[in-house]
Amino acid sequence: MKKLVLTTVFIALVAFSCKENEVQDQRPHYLQNREPLLQKPYLELPLGTIKPKGWLEDQLFRMRDGMTGNLDEIYAEVVGERNGWLGGDGDGWERGPYWIDGLLPLAYILGDQKLISKVRPWIEWTLNNQASNGYLGPVPFEEEPKYEPGLQRGMRKDWWPKMVMLKILQQYYTATGDERVITALTNYFRYQLKELPETPLDNWSLWANRRGGDNLMVVYWLYNITGDQFLLELGDLLFEQTFPWTRIFLNDENYEDPVNPWHYSQLQRYPFDEGEIKALTVSKIGGMHCVNFAQGLKQPVIYYQKDIDSKYVDAVKKALMDVKKYHGQPQGMYGGDEPLHGTNPLQGIEFCSVAEEMFSLESMITITGDMFFADQLEKITYNALPAQTTDDFTSRQYFQAANQVKLTDKLQVSYQTNGHMGTDYVFGTLSGYPCCTTNMHQSWPKFVQNLWYATADRGVAAFQYAPSEVSLLVGSGVEVRITEETGFPFRDEVKFTIDPDQPVQFPLHLRIPQWTENASVFINGKKWNVEAENRIAVIDRTWESGDQIILKIPMKLKYDYWHDFSVAIKRGPLVYSLKVRGEMKEKDRNDRFGTFHEVHPLDAWNYGLIMEDLSDLGSSVQVIENEWDGSYPWNLENAPIQLKIRGVKVPEWTLYNDAPVFPAFWGRHSKEDFQKEEITLVPYGCTMLRITEFPVYDLR
C-alpha cells in the first residue's frame, strides 16, 4: 500500500496545477486542469489505483487468459513482430495500438508482469524511435508497399493511428511516471502544430478528421502537466480541423437525407458542402459511421474545457437522445452496421462502437460531473458489453442485435455488409471485420479505471457500482482504502467499508441512478439523511476505520416501447431478454474469416407479450433471485436473476434468412387465437440468443 501512495504522490506532485497564491490545503491531490481550462469536478486516478474484486476481477482474468492476453499468438500476422509499431515492415496502422490500448490497462490493473512484458516493447520502440522532427510511429515507406492480404501496411503517416498511441502513452505515464512520455508527447505535439496547417487531419484518411477528439484530449492532459502555451494553440487547430460534431449534433431533426443513404462512399467524405452540413444530423437514416459517432461524441465536451459554453454539453446530450430515438436498441446502443441504420432490432451493433462509446462517456463524466452520461455508461456496460464475447474471451461477434435467435453465415440483415460474406453475427476471431478483434479489449479495463474518482474538494466519488477496492489520498493528505462489496447490477444494495490511516474528514460522492426511486443511505446501521443534488448524494463527515455505508437503490419493473411499438422489459440497470438456449457449431470455410462458431437455438423463441400484463408488471411478473455466490454471472447457467411472465407463441413469426423478422401484424386478437404460456426472461448480458423487443398482443 505504501508503494501505491508514493506513486500517487509522485503523479500528483509532477502533474498538478494551481495558482501560485492558492492555499495548499485547497489543492487537489490529483491532476486538475490548468487555467484557462475548466476546473473539473472529478479527477482521474493513476492507473492501478483501482482494483476489481469478485466477478469483475474474474472478468479481467478471463481476458488475460483469452484473446487480450494472447492476441500476439492468436493474430500474430498483424500484432506480431512484423508490426510497424515494433519497427517491422508489416501492419502499421490502427490494429496494433488498438490491442495495446486494452492490454496495457489490463496489465497494470492486475499487476501482471507477464502482460506488462508484452506491453513494454510497444512502448519502448515508440519512445526510442521518435524522429528528430517529432514524428512518432511506424517508419514511413519511401514507396507504398505491395499489398499483403490481411495487413494494413500503408498510410504510415496517417494522423489517426497515432491518436490511439497517444492514449496508450498517457495511460503508461499514469501507471509508471516515466518522464520520457512527457518529452515524446511534447515533441510530437510541436511537430503536429508545424505540420497540420499543410497536412490537415483528413490529409491521408477521413478517420483522423472524425476522431480528432482523441488527439485533443491528450493535448489538454499534457498541458495540465507542462503548462506549455503552444498546446492551447494546437488544441484550437485540432478542433477546427475535426468534423464539426457540435454543429451537426445541434442541427434540427432532418427527415430528408442531404446525401443518398445507399451510397456509403459519399458519406465517408469530408468536408461536406455548406448545405449538407446544415442538414446532416444524427436523425438521418443511413447516415454517419457508427464508430465515428461513438468516438466523436466526446469531442464537443473535450473542447468545452477550453471554450466554456454549455452548447457543447447540450449538443452531446441531444445526439444521444436522437440516436436513441432514430436508431436505438434497449441495451443502450444503436443500429449501426456500419452506417447508422434505424431502430429495427435485427440491425447490427458493432463491437468497436460499444468500446468507443464507453470510453467517450467515461471521458465526459469527469469534465461535466453529469450523471446523464454515467447512467448511459452503466446501461451499455451491464447489457451490451458482456453479450458480445464468449465466456472465455476467445471469440466475439462483430455485430450483435437486440433480437437474434440463430447466428449463422446465412444470416443477412446489414445494408452495408462490407464483403463480410455472412460472418457479421457469428462468434469468431476474425469474422466480420478484424478491427473489433483488436479494439474490444479496452472496454472492461477502462470501466474498472472509472469506477472511482478523486473529487475537486479532496474527496472520493463512486459513480459506477461493482465489487472493487480503491486506495487514494483525501482531505489533508491522508490515505484511505475503500472496499466495495455488492451484487449489483443484479442486486440493489452496495456496501462500502472505509479504512483511513487515521480519522479524516472528506466528502464521499455517490450516484443515485435515474431509474431508482426512494434510494437510501445507512452509515454504521443508521439511516443518513442526505439529499441528492443532480443525482449525486454527498456525504461529508469525519471517517474512521471500519465505518460502513450501505446504499440501497430499489429496482422497479418497467417497460418501454421500441421498433414498431414492440416492448422491452427492464428492471433497474438491466434489460431482460427471452431465455433461449443455444448450441454452438464450429465452421471453417477455409477463407479469410478463419474458424468461427454458429449458434443454433434449442428452444422456441417466437413469443409475444400480453398487453394486459404490462399495465401491472409488479403483479404479472415474478422476480426470482437465483442462488449466487458472486462468481462470473454472464451466461444462462449462472444468471443471478430471472423473471417469469406470461407470453403467447406466435406461429406466423418465423425466420427469414435466419433473422427473426417481426410478423406482419399484431394487435387485437381473440383469446382463442393464442395459448398462454409462462416464459423466462434473463438479463440481456447473459444471452447469446435472445428476443429483447417483443410484439405485444391485446387479448381482452
How far apart CA 587 and CA 320 sit, in angstroms, is: 38
pLDDT band at 53 (very low <50, low <70, confident <90, very high): very high
Least confident of 100-104, 281-285, 534-538: 281-285
Helix axes 230-241, 212-226, angle to 10 degrees: 170
Strand locations in 207-295 (E): none
Lowest mean pLDDT among 14-18, 237-241, 382-386, 450-454: 14-18
Instruction: Using the predicted structure, report yes or no on whether residue 523 has a pLDDT greater than 70.
Output: yes
Q: Which pLDDT score, from 0 to 100, does residue 129 have?
A: 98
Whole-number pLDDT of residue 144: 85
Q: pTM of this prediction?
A: 0.95
Q: Which tops the pLDDT comparison, 21 or 609?
A: 609
Q: Where in the chain are the domains?
A: 454-552, 564-697
In the structure, what pLDDT confidence band is assigned to residue 419 with cuts at 50, 70 and 90? low
Q: How confident is the model at residue 286 (pLDDT cuts 50, 70, 90)?
A: low
Would you say residue 12 has pLDDT above 90? no
Mean pLDDT of the chain, nearest integer: 92
pLDDT for 418 beyond 80: no
| Lowest-confidence pick of 265-269, 347-351, 363-367 | 265-269
pLDDT of residue 268: 64
Residue with cell 446523464: 372
pLDDT in tens, 114-127: 999 999 999 999 99
pLDDT over 70 (residue 13): no
Q: What is the mean pLDDT of residues 154-170?
A: 97
Q: What is the pLDDT of residue 267?
A: 59
- 3-state SS track over 563-627: HHHCEEEEECCEEEEECECEEEEEECCCCCCCCEEEEEECCCCCEEEEHHHHCCHHHHCEEEECC
Confidence (pLDDT) at 222: 98
pLDDT band at 700 (very low <50, low <70, confident <90, very high): confident
Q: What is the pLDDT of residue 327?
A: 94
Residue 5's pLDDT is 39
Quick one: pLDDT band at residue 288, thresholds 50, 70, 90?
A: confident
Degrees to nearest 5, angle at CA 292 with 133 and 634: 115
The residue-averaged pLDDT of 283-295 equals 85
Query: Does the structure show a pLDDT above 90 at 339?
Result: no
**Spatial separation of the C-alpha atoms in residues 504 and 542, rounded to whole Å:** 5
Fold of 454-552: Immunoglobulin-like (2.60.40)
- pLDDT of 420 > 80? The answer is no
SS3 content of the chain, % helix, strand, coil (to 5): 35, 20, 45
- Spatial contact of 245 and 201, defined as CB atoms under 8 Å apart: no
Q: What is the pLDDT of residue 668?
A: 65
**333-355 b/e with 16+ CB inside 10 Å = b?**
bbbbbbbbbbbbbbbbbbbbbbb
The Cα–Cα gap between 242 and 116 comes to 34
Is the model more confident about 606 or about 257?
Answer: 606
Q: CA 329 to CA 312: how far, in whole Å? A: 25
pLDDT for 492 beyond 90: yes
Cα–Cα distances in angstroms (integers) from residue 393 to residues 383, 390, 515, in the given order: 16, 5, 30
Residue 588 has pLDDT above 60, yes or no: yes
Least confident of 82-91, 158-167, 420-429, 500-509: 420-429
Q: Does the pLDDT of residue 82 top 50, yes or no?
A: yes
Give the rounded percent of residues in the chain with a pLDDT score beyond 90. Answer: 85
Choose the weakest-confidence range: 191-195, 380-384, 527-531: 527-531
pLDDT in tens, 222-238: 999 999 999 999 999 99
For residue 520, what is the enclosing H or E element?
strand 520-523
In whole angstroms, give the CA distance from residue 474 to residue 504. Answer: 8
Please report the sign of the dihedral spanned by the C-alpha atoms of residue 75, residue 80, residue 82, residue 86.
Answer: positive
- Count CA atoms closer than 13 A to 249's CA, side-chain side: 24
So what's the pLDDT on residue 27? 81
Which one is predicted more confidently, 137 or 267? Answer: 137
Query: For residue 619, what are the CA distances in angstroms to 614, 616, 682?
Result: 9, 6, 18
| Residue labelled with grid coordinates 526510442 | 128
Lowest mean pLDDT among 146-155, 396-405, 636-645: 146-155
- pLDDT tens-digit readout, 175-215: 999 999 999 999 999 999 999 999 999 999 999 999 999 99
Tell me which of 229-233, 253-257, 584-588 is least confident.
253-257
* Cβ neighbours of 522 (radius 10 Å): 15
